Amino acid sequence: MNEVGTMKVLELNENEDGNFTCVFDLDEKTTELAQELGLKLLLYCGATETKLDYVFKNILGETDD
């Protein structure tokens, strides 16, 4: 198995509106992978006209499809 890298949660703060603010510490390898995969996700969604909310809900099994 290939080692991906490390990602640590440094801070997790709940905001007044119920949302959270997270501060992460990523090593260089994980930073590059997150950027690559994030861009790839955005390009695929744009090319297929798929909304990001749908993708995330699908991953979590929250869709009716």
Write the pLDDT tens digit of every residue in 28-59.
Answer: 999 999 999 999 999 999 999 999 999 999 99
* Choice between 64 and 62, residue whose per-residue pLDDT is larger: 62
Model confidence at 64: pLDDT above 80: no
Note the pTM of the prediction, 2 decimals. 0.64
CB-based contacts of 38: which residues, under 8 Å, 6+ apart?
A: none
Dist CA 43 CA 45 (whole Å): 5
What pLDDT score does 3 carry? 66
Model confidence at 25: pLDDT above 70: yes
Helix (H) or strand (E) holding 30: helix 28-48
